[in-house]
């Protein structure tokens, strides 16, 4: 029989270390591939390569639907503009969609559905970077911040979504600190509903 292992009460363990390392490598590799494809597309966007033409047609379809304020354009706007790394004047575009003659309920449903999908992506991207964040700041500061976010997160989520503030970035930050997803969706939707109703009242009564 081998020697009996003696464990210290203060020793930390890293379970599934190899799996975590492999997951991290795949995540970085995936980001590198995405960036490479995006840069290649920008460099070859005017070429006649079938794949480039296909993506160029998709981009043209997206931009034309957004510019024409179609129902599909609403879905595109909320889904793409809701991502934290893409800037779009969301409040202005929402007002434009209402001014195009669409029913408020239809616009609201498509807008919130797209935003919900985008903010879910933001949250889970942040979740993937949680391990990196723990290495960039000390564990004491990390968990102190997490405690404050858990305490005041609901208020912050509501006001960041009810006002023209960078709520997309906040969603990613909440993912880093593994904020309760149910509370996140509740305050996110309440905030967005408040803002959408306010914008609709402005459009219908002042424009």
Q: Is the pLDDT of residue 1 over 60?
A: no
Within a domain: 190: yes
For residues 177-184, average pLDDT:
92
Q: Is the pLDDT of residue 103 over 60?
A: yes
For residues 125-140, average pLDDT:
75
The pLDDT value given to residue 26: 63
More confident residue, 185 or 22: 185
Within a domain: 5: no
CA torsion sign for 73, 113, 148, 194 is positive
pLDDT digits (tens, 9 = 90+) for 80-102: 999 998 889 999 999 999 988 88
Within a domain: 18: no
Within a domain: 169: yes
The pLDDT value given to residue 61: 86
- pLDDT above 70 covers a percentage of the chain that reads 70
- pLDDT category at 206 given cuts 50, 70, 90 is confident
Q: What is the residue whose two structure tokens read 């000390």?
A: 138
Listing DSSP states for 45-98 in one string gives TTS--HHHHHHHHHHHHHHHHHHTT-HHHHHHHHHHHTSTTS---HHHHHHHHH
The pLDDT value given to residue 58: 81
The pLDDT value given to residue 12: 44
CB of 176 closer than 8 Å to CB of 126: yes
- pLDDT category at 3 given cuts 50, 70, 90 is low
Within a domain: 59: no
Q: Which domain holds residue 172?
A: 80-206
What is the phi-psi region of residue 101: left when phi exceeds 0, alpha when psi lies from -120 to 50, beta otherwise?
Answer: left
Within a domain: 34: no
Q: How many domains does the chain have?
A: 1
Within a domain: 171: yes
- pLDDT above 90 covers a percentage of the chain that reads 43
The pLDDT value given to residue 21: 60
The pLDDT value given to residue 141: 78
Within a domain: 125: yes
Query: Among candidates 87, 105, 112, 91, which has minimal Cα distance to 168?
Result: 87
The pLDDT value given to residue 142: 73
Alpha carbons 57 and 50: distance in angstroms, whole number: 11
Question: Which value, in Å, is the radius of gyration of the alpha carbons in the chain?
Answer: 22
């Amino acid at each position: 029989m081998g020697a009996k292992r003696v464990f210290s009460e203060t020793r930390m363990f890293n379970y599934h270390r190899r799996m975590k390392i492999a997951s991290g490598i795949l995540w970085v590799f995936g980001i590198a591939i995405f960036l490479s494809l995006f840069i290649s597309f920008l460099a070859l966007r005017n070429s006649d390569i079938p794949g480039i033409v296909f993506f160029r047609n998709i981009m043209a379809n997206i931009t034309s639907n957004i510019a024409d304020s179609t129902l599909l354009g609403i879905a595109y706007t909320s889904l793409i503009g809701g991502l934290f790394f893409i800037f779009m004047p969301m409040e202005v575009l929402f007002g434009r969609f209402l001014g195009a003659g669409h029913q408020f309920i239809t616009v609201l449903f498509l807008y919130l559905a797209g935003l919900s999908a985008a903010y879910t992506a933001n949250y889970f991207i942040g979740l993937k970077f949680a391990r990196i964040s723990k290495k960039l700041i000390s564990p004491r500061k990390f968990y102190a911040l997490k405690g404050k976010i858990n305490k005041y997160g609901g208020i912050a989520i509501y006001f960041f979504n009810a006002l023209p503030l960078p709520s997309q970035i906040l969603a990613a930050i909440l993912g880093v600190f593994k904020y309760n997803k149910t509370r996140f969706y509740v305050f996110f939707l309440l905030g967005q509903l408040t803002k959408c109703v306010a914008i609709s009242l402005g459009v219908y009564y002042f424009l």
